[in-house]
Amino acid sequence: MSKARPPRLLRPNDTCWRVEHADRLAVIIDAADYFATIRQAICQARHSVMFIAWDFDARIMLDPRDGDRRMPNRLGPYLNWAVRQNPDLNIHVLQWNLGWLSALGRGTTPLRILRWMMSSQIHYRFDSAHPAAAAHHQKIVVIDDALAFCGGIDMTADRWDTRDHPDQSPYRRRPTTHRRYGPWHDVTTAVDGAAARALGDLARTRWERATGERLQPPPPRSDDAWPKGLTVSMRDVDVGIARTMPEHGGHPSVHEIESLYLAVIAATRRTLYIESQYFASHRIAEALAARLREPDSPEFVIINPESAQGWLEEKVMGSARAQLMDMVRKADRHDRFRIYTPVTRRGTPIYVHAKVLVMDDWLLRVGSSNLNNRSLGFDTECDLAVEANPDDPADADLRQRILGLRHDLLAEHLDVPNVAVESAVSRAGGSLIGAIDMLRGEGRTLVPFEPPEFGDLEQELLAQNPVLDPERPARNLPRLLSRLGRRVPRRTSAG
């Protein structure tokens, strides 16, 4: 008798919104490849391009290493060029409303935005359809409903980097000022087929809620929209689309992302690998602690940045991480929990902005959500997930591809070939922690994270006042800041 299939983790109207088919899915690691792919994909667009964005900077170079002058390289001029080449093309850009504050200091960007607002082909709007202090945090691009990108990479400054993350790069420079920024790790996905059409539906719904304008789907394409050179990670897969949406404007709250996180933690058999900008969610930490108390608990490996960006954000997110790590470590009876942070060859911390989860060889998830309270209930998020049957031989190839992507990410962090990670896991008896510790060394590597010390007053105030990481609108920010004697940073996160 064949073994019964375990309960599905991707359940519409529970752990995801919809499950739709993709003929092809690509996982794109780091923004150098992503920006270059976007540049090629928009060039091939026929009718529609939609950007649903936390931030959007028209000044960024899409491929700073490319000297081809046949088409512009900066995002703003490139979009202007694209619509001139194709009078049937309409481009819609929806940006979180607070992004306008930073745009005021962006040289010619405000003037370009004003011109776009009067353009007949480029339509630029701001998204204020959220509670006070919440953020629209999705990072989605949809082209002709035939190709869609969804993940953690914003089309903005300070994101471009290559997978080798050099200590110094002539291309990692801020627009206009040309100031250098540090190494940055990020991940997104590309899908086609019905999954891309579903993301088109999501993008148009978000546009209507933010602007009141209802957009029609583009006409179907007869040709292939998949960019040449974009490597396919998986073929013929079902893709779950999971969302977070706070209650607002008569629309109920949606917590599919939180439900999926908790379902995944409960179902993990051997290893859960996570890359996240934060580790600050009490619900997630409590779920991990519950599993770690089990006599045969799985391993949990989290890749985090060394610190959050900005003084107040680090005090809030950093102190929360320290407290949650202490709670989880006390539950870790069998030494199966680790947080690592990646560094360059010279020891410079690599900022982890990726939002990735790999559960055993069973489920892959990439999106915009972090392990913090905002992502689970307060901000607007979107993740994609692919699920295999761990006990079905027919899914053996899919399971191997899911596991291969985990090994690919670790190979980048540890500066070793993919096969070295696979071999180390085997030599460690299947232990991912054992494999990582076996491969860690000098140069670019993973370093065990140890939280810094926080002052007693700051830690007490910030632990009791989750202003930057709320599960609901915060009302006590002015009082908290006056007690701390500090100003609010320009943004609440690095997106």
Same domain for 272 and 165: no
Same domain for 301 and 222: no
138: pLDDT strictly greater than 60? yes
Query: Which has the closest alpha carbon to 144: 209, 224, 73, 214?
Result: 224
- Apex CA 72: angle with CA 164 and CA 49, to 5°? 85
Same domain for 200 and 168: yes
Boundary of a domain, candidates 235, 258, 279:
235
Same domain for 344 and 202: no
Residue 49 is assigned to a structural domain of this protein: yes
The first and second tokens of residue 276, run together, are 């996240």
Q: Any idea which of 20-29, 58-67, 285-294, 367-376 has the lowest mean pLDDT? A: 58-67
Query: Which has the closest alpha carbon to 467: 316, 321, 324?
Result: 316
Going by pLDDT thresholds of 50, 70 and 90, the confidence category of residue 391 is: confident
- Apex CA 8: angle with CA 363 and CA 226, to 5°? 50
Residue 164 is assigned to a structural domain of this protein: yes
User: 38: domain range?
Assistant: 20-235
> Which tens digits make up the pLDDT trace of 33-50?
999 999 999 999 999 999
- Taking a C-beta distance cutoff of 8 angstroms, is the pair 129, 168 a contact? no
Task: Calculate the CA 108 to chain-centre distance.
Answer: 28
Residue 489 is assigned to a structural domain of this protein: no
DSSP 75-110: HHHHHHHHHHH-TT-EEEEEEETTHHHHHTTSTTHH
Same domain for 242 and 174: no
461: pLDDT strictly greater than 60? no
Residue 490 is assigned to a structural domain of this protein: no
Going by pLDDT thresholds of 50, 70 and 90, the confidence category of residue 119 is: confident
DSSP 174-226: -TTT--B---EE-EEEEEEHHHHHHHHHHHHHHHHHHHSPPPPPPPPPSS--S
Task: Calculate the CA 93 to chain-centre distance.
Answer: 19
Query: Which has the closest alpha carbon to 202: 114, 138, 277?
Result: 138
Boundary of a domain, candidates 169, 203, 235:
235
The first and second tokens of residue 233, run together, are 């990670």
Residue 461 is assigned to a structural domain of this protein: no
pLDDT score for 98: 73
Residue 466 is assigned to a structural domain of this protein: no
- Taking a C-beta distance cutoff of 8 angstroms, is the pair 364, 382 a contact? no
Same domain for 263 and 141: no
488: pLDDT strictly greater than 50? no
Residue 460 is assigned to a structural domain of this protein: no
Boundary of a domain, candidates 190, 205, 235:
235
Residue 246 is assigned to a structural domain of this protein: yes
Same domain for 341 and 196: no
Same domain for 216 and 260: no
Same domain for 230 and 247: no
Q: Is 319 exposed, middle or buried (0-12, 13-18, 19+ CB in 10 A)?
A: buried
Same domain for 126 and 45: yes
pLDDT score for 462: 53
Same domain for 288 and 157: no
Query: Which has the closest alpha carbon to 366: 34, 111, 14?
Result: 34
pLDDT score for 111: 57
pLDDT score for 69: 76
Same domain for 353 and 319: yes
CATH number of residue 113's parent domain: 3.30.870.10
pLDDT score for 487: 41
> Which tens digits make up the pLDDT trace of 305-362?
998 765 556 666 777 888 899 999 999 999 999 999 999 999 999 999 999 999 999 9
> Which tens digits make up the pLDDT trace of 381-390?
999 999 999 8
CB atoms within 10 A of CB 396: 12
Number of structural domains in the chain: 2
Residues 6+ apart with CB under 8 A from 259: 14, 15, 242
- The pTM for the full model equals 0.92
